[in-house]
Structure 1
Amino acid sequence: MTLPASPRPARFAGLDGLRAIAVALVIVYHLFPGWVFAGGFVGVDVFFVISGFLITTLLLSERERTGRISLSGFWKRRARRLLPALALVVTVCASAAWLVGGDVLARVGAQVLGAATFGYNWISLAEGSSYFAASAPELLRNLWSLAVEEQFYVVWPLLLPLVLLLPWRAARVGLALAAAAASAWWMARLVVEDGAVTRAYFGTDSHAFGILIGVALAFAMQRVLHDPPAWMQRRPWRVGALAAGVAAVAGIVWVGTLPATDSAATFPGALLAASVLTAVAIAAGVWPGSWFGRGIDAAPLRWIGDRSYGLYLWHWPLVILLAAGSAPGAGVPAGTGVVSLALTAAFAEASYRFVETPVRRHGFRGAVRRLAASLTGGPVRRLGALATVTCAVLVLGGTTAAIAGAPAATTAQSAVQAGIDALRDQEAAPAATPEPEPTATPAPSPTPVQGAEITAVGDSVMLASAPALVERFPGIHVDASVSRSMYAAPGILEQLEAAGTLRRYVVVALGTNGSIERSTLQRMREIVGPDRILILVTAHAPRDWIAGVNEELTTFARITGVGLADWAGAVAPRPDVLAGDGIHPGDAGGVLFADTVAGAVDAAEARRAASAQK
């Protein structure tokens, strides 16, 4: 995250307080996902703006002092500040994952490679990872944002001299803002036209607007920071800066309460709003004689701000490791979140005091020399040095073992892939019998429902259950996809209806990935029509919207008479049949899912026949 650029950096008022707010938003979002900060991930964008402003300001100051920018000096300071804590987190947590085993160990090798190369975001995208997917809780997923910043640290010092060729400050500000606008537009384009939310969120190109807004602010305030005019220090202007800063922070916190959507309203809407508000807060904090800057840098917030880098690094892998020991389907229990928070604070403080500060003050070689000197010192120093060396050897060995033994996918991902393979095999196999055409006058007595009479539309839960569905109902048509929500159902059903492939029984299981509305269900029933039978499947997942989804499905089924397959009720006492994420069925879970659907289909067929006999 945003860090000082040298062992004895200039302090800009307000930045520590903003760092504290940013890291608090992110940590609460991850450790207490059902709480108020449903959009707390915008804290990352607060960090991005601070980075763009601080790094650009320091580079400009160096150029004014010395007439040049020392690339080697800048990158050396970055390495001193970033690498020690990063190496500690990666090796300790990878070793812990090796001890825990299971899904937390999945793809550790690729994650360590991403951390080591400053390319975590791009490597993660290349492997098809999703920031918002519950099926793959990557141990080091939070390093994607650090990779974006690290790429900025590498590229920006090379580009800055070219930008400085523009003779007017306004032109430099305008160029940075134009680049920020282009980045935000690109994010919106990826989300709206391609539906590529994770690509838009992870991509350095599509998520650079926060950093670029910070760069524009640094250009705009370059002279003010070094030689502020007298009018800026007059009381009315200081009062205005205070009011603007307070309003901006309140706005950032409010944006952090907004739930994410898979639309441009969030990507880039909410992110861009948080970025602009952060720029206002920074300007208010560094305003000459600012009361706001001193106020927000109160001692507790400054303590958090100083350690924000370590807090950010530690909190995510710790909660993943601790949650791995919870019951499947439990998500992040409140107790786990509290323990994770306590451990995060303790580990961040230890890292800051014993690893980050010594390297920042003495450099890598100086820190190693001091450690070597301790080996020949008194008993206490020698014992501490030996313990440090021993721990280093152990975590390096544990990391190597973790990489060597890491599975390529989580149990949930494997279950979903098995479903994809089953459907592919079904499509490749020659049809045993032709599909029957839907009939408007079915028999007046119950008849066994065949797979060729069923269309099933669902998300990754249905996809993971596809092998069992295909076996239970040979010839069934399954249209399932990862991360699909109920809002997609009407469009899918309309396409199938228009193609003449919508069958007599329509099973829809789309409640896992978000809340639903009555109007969506009504539209689905209209598309299915009176000659077909709609069956809705309840959802099971450790998500705060699931209870509301199941209540809506149950109520709609009772009012309208459509069928209901109670997957939630069937699987609740059987968490052992689910994958490690507590959401996706394993082999036995897939059989239970198919049995639940079959029971609902049989019940619906019995009701249809009974109605036909009247």
Structure 2
Amino acid sequence: MPSLRPARYPGLDGLRAIAVALVVIYHLFPGSPLRSGFVGVDVFFVVSGFLITSLLLQSSPAGRLGSRASLVDFWTRRARRLLPALGLVVTTCATAAWFIGGDVLVDLGRQVLGAATFSYNWVSLTSGADYFAATSPELFRNLWSLAVEEQFYVLWPLLLPLLLMVRRSGARIALALVAAAGSAWWMAQLAAAGDVTRGYYGTDSHAFGILLGIALAITGLGRIEHEWMLRPAARRSAAVLGVAGLAAIATSALLPETPDAATFPGSLLLASLGTIGVVVASVWPQARFGIRLDIAPLRWIGDRSYGIYLWHWPVLVLVVAATSGGSVDLRVPPTAAAVTLVLTLVLAALSYRFIEMPIRRRGLRASIRSLVRAFGGRPARRFAALTISSVIILSIAGTVVSITTAPAESSAAATIRAGQRALEQATATPSPAPTESLTGGLPGAPSPTPAPSSDGSDMIAIGDSVMLASAPALLARFPGIAVDAEVSRSMWTGTEIVSALASGGDLRETVVVGLGTNGAIDDEALDQIAASISPRRDLILVNAYAPRDWIPGVNEQLAAFAAAHVGVVVADWSAAIAPRPDLLAEDLVHPGDAGGELFADAVDQAIRDVTVERQEARKREKAAASLLEEARDALRQLAG
């Protein structure tokens, strides 16, 4: 006969430590081998599904499961566990964001609303947020996964009694597994349709890890012992499964991230199944796997894993914004990563010691009463109570001020929108005459630009969001230029555009291509662009400037290609803007008005360079023709 066991789950703290370490390393050190470290979130999901279901099944007899008393008790305990730390992180970081200012405040009201209503993932989706886009920093982006878990905590105690109406345990497990398979299939469909963020954020499409944990809990593992489970061979098999599970988690974290079903849900499923193996080995009766996994350092991290996960992302965003600017999606300086790691561990430890544990033990109302009583105690207690109260009041006030003063859009979005307006106006009104460079009056900027090399009537420019942000300056410098620029274009998109323009007879004498910002390029794409352009036309390749690891390689390829082809030159935007990053938006990619002038300067100089190159090529051709004619004359004289 099976015997009931107490609710003790060794190994889960160590497993949580591994999960949070994967996520933190992935975010703080993007150049590390953990290219898919975000799978740590799925480890958390499996653990939550298993642990919460096991506790519900053990703490509530079948007749009381789902009763009002048991539900209130469960939700009260969850609230004590989650809300104090969450409220502290949101209000403190929102207030810090107000002091820093700029892009970290963008859309802050929506983010706080999502955090307060346990719906961050859905609020983000309805606003069009993209988890995988390198845009302006989103201060509380990591709260999407907490929202998924909170929705699970609210709904699952209501649904579990319905599942228990199915009498056979095997059928219950099968239902949970079918639901998990359906969730994973739905994520794969969304990824195949190009909507990875919807698949990743969606509670429905990302529930498979939680459902797998539920299926494992329904088996009774961790609560019920069978005699066969105590046999040495069974314990050894469980240990092997645990080792294999750890290997699966590590493998999934090391796999490259791809925007398709290979990662979503492929890598996530691998991590989830590996977590199942680790949980089985950890809670197996009389097994030592879980005890070994709960070594002191991992247990310390595991106990504070919730706080570490909450703090690490907003602290990283704030540190990067305060020290070097830009988006953490584009660049995380090593110093900022190190500072963030230290701050995260300190803040998580303090929160655990002084906020989370006291409220979990005494409850929120008792903690408030204790704080009020402290004002009548010894001077040290009064000082502590005054400090805590002041921090709470200032944080709440700072959050309100941050939300009300937050800009409507990021600085990069503003520059891009200005470029779009300029293009729209250019099609509706006559182009203005060329003007002097706006950078001429800025400290350290170049002197006013001489007369432009072209009026633009013979120029067409094809580019990405950097060129789009520079469109006002291009239109001012070259009034007749045609600009075709959009966000998130790559060089391969350029091959299609140039080919279509050539087929329609719409190419002009000078073709400017600026498509190196959004990914690596290869010679095949450049060859296709050059092949679509008549050798008589000039091709200007604008190189790239951005805090992205592929940029140096892109610029080297563009320079080598230009050196090997007559009539192809590089507009050195990178060299022009490198000394003046202050002329870029906070993402350190998109130029403002003055930065756009430098972009136009680089294009103007490239046109002058290609003109000189053409002239020198013609001189060489004439010299070669003259030498050939002289040789022919000499041969004729010898023959005569």
Match of 2:591 in 1: 585
Over residues 220-262 of structure 1, what are the superposed CA-to-partner deviations in whole Å (9 max), with x where a residue is unaligned?
xx32332222222322332232222223223322322334233
Distance 1:19 1:147 in 2: 18
Relative to structure 1, the CA distance from residue 105 to residue 245 in structure 2 (aligned partners, 3 Å threshold; closer, same or farther) is: same
Q: What SS does the corresponding residue of 1:309 show, helix, strand or coil?
A: helix
Residue correspondence of structure 1 range 286-301 to structure 2 within 5 A:
286-301=283-298
Over residues 176-227 of structure 1, what are the superposed CA-to-partner deviations in whole Å (9 max), with x where a residue is unaligned?
333333333333333332x3333332222332222222223323xx323322
Match of 1:603 in 2: 609
Q: Contact 1:518/1:552 (CA < 8 Å) preserved in 2? A: yes
Relative to structure 1, the CA distance from residue 396 to residue 341 in structure 2 (aligned partners, 3 Å threshold; closer, same or farther) is: same
Q: What SS does the corresponding residue of 1:456 show, helix, strand or coil?
A: strand
Match of 2:631 in 1: none
Q: What SS does the corresponding residue of 1:136 show, helix, strand or coil?
A: coil
Relative to structure 1, the CA distance from residue 85 to residue 592 in structure 2 (aligned partners, 3 Å threshold; closer, same or farther) is: same
Q: 1:565 aligns with which of 562, 568, 571?
A: 571
Distance 1:487 1:290 in 2: 55
Range moving further from structure 2, 248-257 or 292-301: 248-257
Establish whether residue 12 from structure 1 lines up as the match of residue 9 from structure 2. Answer: yes
Q: What SS does the corresponding residue of 2:255 show, helix, strand or coil?
A: coil
Relative to structure 1, the CA distance from residue 517 to residue 189 in structure 2 (aligned partners, 3 Å threshold; closer, same or farther) is: farther
Residue correspondence of structure 1 range 121-520 to structure 2 within 5 A:
121-193=121-193, 195-219=194-218, 222-328=219-325, 331-429=331-429, 449=454, 451-497=456-502, 500-520=505-525
How far 1:417 moved relative to its partner?
A: 1.9
How far 1:89 moved relative to its partner?
A: 0.5
Range moving further from structure 2, 279-288 or 422-431: 422-431
How far 1:338 moved relative to its partner?
A: 0.9
Distance 2:618 2:52 in 1: 75
Distance 1:31 1:86 in 2: 21
Q: What SS does the corresponding residue of 2:74 show, helix, strand or coil?
A: helix
Distance 1:311 1:60 in 2: 29
Letter in 1 for 2:54: T
Distance 1:267 1:428 in 2: 45
Match of 2:75 in 1: 75
Letter in 1 for 2:342: A
Distance 2:255 2:426 in 1: 42
Letter in 2 for 1:575: P
Establish whether residue 30 from structure 1 lines up as the match of residue 35 from structure 2. Answer: no
Q: Contact 2:121/2:145 (CA < 8 Å) preserved in 1? A: yes
Give unmatched runs, 5+ long, in structure 1.
1-8, 433-446
Distance 2:352 2:74 in 1: 21
Distance 2:312 2:199 in 1: 24
Higher RCO by CA contacts (8 Å cutoff, separation 6 or greater): 1
Distance 2:287 2:180 in 1: 27
Q: What SS does the corresponding residue of 1:409 show, helix, strand or coil?
A: coil
Distance 2:586 2:353 in 1: 36
How far 1:527 moved relative to its partner?
A: 4.1
Establish whether residue 53 from structure 1 lines up as the match of residue 50 from structure 2. Answer: yes
Relative to structure 1, the CA distance from residue 518 to residue 215 in structure 2 (aligned partners, 3 Å threshold; closer, same or farther) is: farther
Relative to structure 1, the CA distance from residue 65 to residue 392 in structure 2 (aligned partners, 3 Å threshold; closer, same or farther) is: same
Letter in 2 for 1:598: D
Aligned residues: 589
Distance 1:529 1:263 in 2: 38
Q: Contact 1:135/1:584 (CA < 8 Å) preserved in 2? A: no
Percent of residue pairs identical: 56
Range moving further from structure 2, 14-23 or 201-210: 201-210
How far 1:498 moved relative to its partner?
A: 5.1
Q: What SS does the corresponding residue of 2:222 show, helix, strand or coil?
A: helix
Range moving further from structure 2, 156-165 or 113-122: 156-165
How far 1:375 moved relative to its partner?
A: 1.8
How far 1:448 moved relative to its partner?
A: 5.3
Distance 2:42 2:529 in 1: 38
Relative to structure 1, the CA distance from residue 589 to residue 67 in structure 2 (aligned partners, 3 Å threshold; closer, same or farther) is: same
CA RMSD of aligned residues (A): 2.6
How far 1:471 moved relative to its partner?
A: 2.7
Distance 1:259 1:516 in 2: 19
Over residues 249-308 of structure 1, what are the superposed CA-to-partner deviations in whole Å (9 max), with x where a residue is unaligned?
233223223342333332222222222222222222222233322221111101101101
How far 1:16 moved relative to its partner?
A: 1.2
TM-score when scaled to structure 2?
Answer: 0.85
Distance 2:139 2:385 in 1: 29
Distance 2:184 2:512 in 1: 39
Range moving further from structure 2, 355-364 or 162-171: 162-171
Establish whether residue 107 from structure 1 lines up as the match of residue 104 from structure 2. Answer: no
Match of 1:552 in 2: 557
Letter in 2 for 1:292: F
How far 1:365 moved relative to its partner?
A: 0.9
Q: Contact 2:470/2:599 (CA < 8 Å) preserved in 1? A: yes
How far 1:50 moved relative to its partner?
A: 1.6
Distance 1:379 1:299 in 2: 37
Q: Contact 1:565/1:596 (CA < 8 Å) preserved in 2? A: yes
Distance 2:507 2:287 in 1: 66
Letter in 2 for 1:422: A
Relative to structure 1, the CA distance from residue 451 to residue 542 in structure 2 (aligned partners, 3 Å threshold; closer, same or farther) is: same
Establish whether residue 42 from structure 1 lines up as the match of residue 39 from structure 2. Answer: yes
How far 1:142 moved relative to its partner?
A: 1.3
Q: Contact 2:36/2:257 (CA < 8 Å) preserved in 1? A: yes
Range moving further from structure 2, 28-37 or 595-604: 595-604
Distance 1:191 1:477 in 2: 36
Q: Contact 2:470/2:596 (CA < 8 Å) preserved in 1? A: yes
Letter in 2 for 1:288: P
How far 1:465 moved relative to its partner?
A: 1.8
Distance 2:481 2:200 in 1: 36
Letter in 2 for 1:86: L
Distance 1:186 1:563 in 2: 48
Over residues 553-595 of structure 1, what are the superposed CA-to-partner deviations in whole Å (9 max), with x where a residue is unaligned?
3233333453322222221111111111212111111221222
How far 1:140 moved relative to its partner?
A: 1.3
TM-score when scaled to structure 1?
Answer: 0.89
Relative to structure 1, the CA distance from residue 594 to residue 299 in structure 2 (aligned partners, 3 Å threshold; closer, same or farther) is: same
